[in-house]
Amino acid sequence: MNWRAVAAIYRFEMTRFFRTLFQSFISPVISTSLYFVVFGAAIGSRIDTVEGVDYGAFIVPGLIMLSVMTQSLSNGAFGIYFPKFVGTIYELLSAPVNFLEIVMGYVGAAATKALFIGVVILGTASLFVDLTIQHPLAMLLFLVLTCLSFALFGFIIGIWAKNFEQLQLVPLLVVTPLVFLGGSFYSVSMLPPVWQTITMFNPVLYLISGFRWAFFGMADVPVGVSLLAIAGFFCLCLGIIWWIFRTGWRIRS
Amino acid sequence: MTMVEISGVKKRYEGGFEALRGVDLMIKEGEILALLGPNGAGKTTLISAVCGITLPTEGTIRVGGHDVVTDYRAARDLIGLVPQEINLEPFEKVINTVRFTRGLFGKARNDALIEDVLRKLSLWDKRDSAVKELSGGMKRRVLIAKALAHEPRVLFLDEPTAGVDVELRRDMWEVVAELKRQGVTIILTTHYIEEAEAIADRVGVINRGQILLVEEKDALMARLGQKELRIDLSDPLDAVPPSLEEFDLTLTEDRQRLVYTYHSGAERTGIGRLMAAVASAGLKVRDVSTAQNSLEDIFVGLVAEQEEEDAA
């Protein structure tokens, strides 16, 4: 294992993050505050509680997941797309590193950034609502696994994308709708029966549900299923990346 | 010892274009090989195949005895690459991008070495500048610094002086000379013949994905040093007069020109004696001219030969 290479990639990616630390910090704070104003104050005043949880608190896990998923996805995608775009990918291809080391460096950094943003949102949210986390370790596990698997998914998109439009396409057209329709801001039980069934096919539902369970001990689907779903997604992404590096698809001519 | 061993390497792209058509090339440890060829000859593809950027369709490549595909870690450990395009992360500081390369190659942090490399390339003062603030020539220096940051034993320079100012060219040749003293093997591609002449030990000519010739530069230069003195006569001759026999002259078909071959580097070219002998033989001279064989001529000749072969 070339650990120094992993560390070099990780450090290089994190410097980019620290260069723009202020933006990285301020934008989630502002957007979270806006969500609380809109959902918490305007809608929350009409919905008191969801299954016994105050609506303001109820949306926190979904809010964190929404940002963490989109952030790890776009960071993971951009991290590997940028070297392709500016041409520095030649260095990765000609260095004594294997796919796992490259992935660990880039995905590790992308996940760290998303994790940081998740924590910032959690902190901001706790200023608006009273939050008690029933299963803190499980919460952390779900958060970290989500960051990692979505950063991996982003990495695949970054390799697949041939231009900036494609880079934006999947997050915009696929992930954002799935997150919104995956019970970020409501419980599935609040939907009509037909939509409840349809929602069960949304993979994001399992992640948000498991994450919410860690906060309040209540979930739309059993927590074990949630954990399996995220572990499965993680392995699937890793498998695809392994195949990409084995065949050199879109990276090695 | 052979440092780089390329045998039977072919590269066929999807769509059928053959960038390399069976390349065999041995590069000795510590030598400087200049690979000359026109644009699109396959120089960059060949380098890319050695460095792991492109996978060859056929053939094997070994660096330091390690196969570049099956034993890529050991092979790539030895290789430094300065690409032709200026591929750099624009927002990063110079020193960070150079350190990054060293880390990527699994080497422990070594600030003294990085400082030394940056100083030699006159980049030390710019170490904290973002890459995008640098001029084109400076960026090229950064690329060289990156390649040297992990102390390679084989260095590939892909058209390093294309569009580069005189100062950088001189600095770079100095760096190359020092690396050679340290025993580093250097392969450089260029389409400037003067560059090959100035620093190479051996010169290879590549065109259309094939190596046409690899020769010691000195041998090549000796061939290049040959000059011809052409003496055009007013009246045609039947044969070279016996008094001029010692000069080994040739008479052209139109019988109006005598050609004398000599070495321009020789102490005595014999031109003075020849001219005196021509005068005393009573020949009327209409004009005199000289012509030199250049690497360009050899190159053009080789390429033309290959094209004839391809057509046949």
Task: Tell me the mean pLDDT in the region B108-136.
Answer: 95
- Say if residue A154's pLDDT is above 80: yes
How confident is the model at residue A145, as a pLDDT? Answer: 92
Task: Tell me the mean pLDDT in the region A25-49.
Answer: 79
Which residue does chain A place closest to B51, by CA atoms?
A: A94
Tokens matching residue A50: 């969801």
CATH number, domain at B117?
A: 3.40.50.300
Question: DSSP for B111-170?
Answer: HHHHHHHHHHTT-GGGTTSBGGGS-HHHHHHHHHHHHHTT--SEEEEESTTTT--HHHHH
- Residue A66, C-beta contacts closer than 8 angstroms, at least 6 positions apart: A179, A180, A184
CA distance linking residue A192 with residue A237, whole number of Å:
33
- Say if residue B183's pLDDT is above 90: yes
pLDDT band, residue B221 (cuts 50/70/90): confident
Say whether residue A177 is in contact with chain B using an 8 A CB cutoff: no
- Give B158's Cβ-side CA count (13 Å radius): 24
Per CB-CB distance under 8 Å, the chain B contacts of A4 are 103-104, 106-108
Between residues B171 and B257, which one has the greater pLDDT?
A: B257
- Contact between A8 and B104 using a beta-carbon 8 Å cutoff: yes
Between residues B229 and B310, which one has the greater pLDDT?
A: B229
CATH number, domain at B279?
A: 3.30.70
Per CB-CB distance under 8 Å, the chain A contacts of B77 are 96
How many domains in chain B?
2
Percent residues over pLDDT 70 in chain A: 99
B157 and B76 fall within a common domain: yes
What is the maximal distance between C-alpha atoms in chain A? 59
pLDDT band, residue A198 (cuts 50/70/90): confident
B206 and B259 fall within a common domain: no
CA distance linking residue A154 with residue A158, whole number of Å:
6
Say whether residue A12 is in contact with chain B using an 8 A CB cutoff: yes
pLDDT band, residue B211 (cuts 50/70/90): very high
Between residues A180 and B193, which one has the greater pLDDT?
A: A180
Is there a domain that residue B305 lies in?
Answer: no
Closest Cα partner for B210 from B303, B301, B311, B308? B303
- Say if residue B164's pLDDT is above 70: yes
Task: Tell me the mean pLDDT in the region B201-216.
Answer: 91
Task: Find the angle CA(B109)-CA(B114)-CA(B120) to the nearest 5 degrees.
Answer: 165
B108 and B28 fall within a common domain: yes
Is there a domain that residue B300 lies in?
Answer: no
Task: Tell me the mean pLDDT in the region B182-186.
Answer: 96
Is there a domain that residue B298 lies in?
Answer: no
Percent residues over pLDDT 70 in chain B: 97
How confident is the model at residue A250, as a pLDDT? Answer: 78
How confident is the model at residue B44, as a pLDDT? Answer: 93
* Number of C-beta neighbours around residue A20 at 10 A: 11
Per CB-CB distance under 8 Å, the chain A contacts of B152 are none
pLDDT band, residue B294 (cuts 50/70/90): low
The enclosing H or E element of A165 equals helix A164-170
Q: Coil, helix or strand for A17?
A: helix
How confident is the model at residue B29, as a pLDDT? Answer: 96
Per CB-CB distance under 8 Å, the chain A contacts of B79 are 94
Task: Find the angle CA(B34)-CA(B35)-CA(B37) to the nearest 5 degrees.
Answer: 135
Closest Cα partner for B191 from B46, B36, B299? B36
Closest approach of chain A CAs to the CA of B77, in angstroms? 6
Question: DSSP for B232-251?
Answer: EESS--SS--GGGGGG--EE
Using CB atoms, which residue from A4, A15, A86 is nearest to B90? A86
Task: Tell me the mean pLDDT in the region A83-102.
Answer: 93
Task: Tell me the mean pLDDT in the region B50-78.
Answer: 95
Tokens matching residue A197: 């069934």
Domain-ending residue, one of B184, B200, B222:
B222
Between residues B153 and A200, which one has the greater pLDDT?
A: B153
B84 and B51 fall within a common domain: yes
Alpha carbon B84 to its chain centroid, in Å, reads 14
B99 and B236 fall within a common domain: no
* Ordered strands of the B58-63 beta sheet: B18-28, B2-12, B58-63, B66-67
**Type of residue numbered B128:** D
- Say if residue A38's pLDDT is above 70: yes
Closest Cα partner for B191 from B84, B309, B292? B84
Dihedral of alpha carbons B231, B237, B238, B244, sign: negative
DSSP type of residue B5? E
B237 and B214 fall within a common domain: no
- Say if residue B88's pLDDT is above 90: yes
- Say if residue A140's pLDDT is above 90: yes
The values of phi and psi at residue A191, to 5°, are -90, 160
How confident is the model at residue B173, as a pLDDT? Answer: 85
How confident is the model at residue A253, as a pLDDT? Answer: 65
Tokens matching residue A58: 């109820």
Place of tokens 């660096």: B63
For residue B45, the enclosing domain spans 2-222
- Residue B234, C-beta contacts closer than 8 angstroms, at least 6 positions apart: B284, B285, B286
Tokens matching residue B71: 């034993």
Say whether residue A246 is in contact with chain B using an 8 A CB cutoff: no
Which of A17, A91, A102, A250 would you mutate first to test chain B, the one with the most B CBs within 10 A?
A91
Asked if A131 and A125 count as a contact pair (C-beta separation under 8 A), the reply is yes
- Contact between A4 and B81 using a beta-carbon 8 Å cutoff: no
Task: Find the angle CA(A166)-CA(A170)-CA(A176) to the nearest 5 degrees.
Answer: 140
Alpha carbon B264 to its chain centroid, in Å, reads 23
Chain length of chain B: 312
Which residue does chain B place closest to A93, by CA atoms?
A: B53
Per CB-CB distance under 8 Å, the chain A contacts of B105 are 5, 95-96
CA distance linking residue A91 with residue A82, whole number of Å:
13
Asked if A12 and A108 count as a contact pair (C-beta separation under 8 A), the reply is no
CA distance linking residue B144 with residue B165, whole number of Å:
15
B287 and B213 fall within a common domain: no
- Say if residue B295's pLDDT is above 80: no
Closest Cα partner for B84 from B113, B128, B41? B41
Those of residues 236-275 in B touching chain A at CB distance below 8 A are none
Per CB-CB distance under 8 Å, the chain B contacts of A98 are 73
Dihedral-angle region of residue A146 (phi above 0 means left; psi in -120 to 50 means alpha; beta otherwise): alpha
Percent residues over pLDDT 90 in chain A: 47
Per CB-CB distance under 8 Å, the chain B contacts of A7 are 103
How confident is the model at residue B168, as a pLDDT? Answer: 81
C-alpha dist (Å) from residue A146 to A64, A67, A134, A192, B132: 11, 11, 19, 28, 35
Domain residue extents for chain A: 3-247
How confident is the model at residue B224, as a pLDDT? Answer: 66
pLDDT band, residue B161 (cuts 50/70/90): confident
- Residue A137, C-beta contacts closer than 8 angstroms, at least 6 positions apart: none
Domain-ending residue, one of B185, B203, B222:
B222
Domain-ending residue, one of B202, B222, B242:
B222
B116 and B238 fall within a common domain: no
Is there a domain that residue B99 lies in?
Answer: yes
Is there a domain that residue B79 lies in?
Answer: yes
- Residue B124, C-beta contacts closer than 8 angstroms, at least 6 positions apart: B115, B118
Beta bridge partners of B158: B189
CA distance linking residue A208 with residue A228, whole number of Å:
13
- Mean pLDDT over all residues of chain B? 90
Between residues B75 and A128, which one has the greater pLDDT?
A: B75
How confident is the model at residue A78, as a pLDDT? Answer: 93
- Mean pLDDT over all residues of chain A? 89
Between residues B105 and B252, which one has the greater pLDDT?
A: B105
CA distance linking residue A101 with residue B104, whole number of Å:
10
DSSP type of residue A189? G
B198 and B52 fall within a common domain: yes
- Say if residue A252's pLDDT is above 90: no
How confident is the model at residue A26, as a pLDDT? Answer: 86
CA distance linking residue A49 with residue A59, whole number of Å:
11
Asked if A151 and A53 count as a contact pair (C-beta separation under 8 A), the reply is no
Say whether residue A139 is in contact with chain B using an 8 A CB cutoff: no
- Say if residue A49's pLDDT is above 70: yes
Asked if A152 and A238 count as a contact pair (C-beta separation under 8 A), the reply is yes
Is there a domain that residue B275 lies in?
Answer: yes
Asked if A159 and A250 count as a contact pair (C-beta separation under 8 A), the reply is yes
Say whether residue A19 is in contact with chain B using an 8 A CB cutoff: yes
B178 and B62 fall within a common domain: yes
B13 and B38 fall within a common domain: yes
C-alpha dist (Å) from residue B227 to B223, B240, B273, B291: 9, 20, 17, 6
How confident is the model at residue B14, as a pLDDT? Answer: 84
- Say if residue B50's pLDDT is above 90: yes
B288 and B143 fall within a common domain: no
Beta bridge partners of A23: none
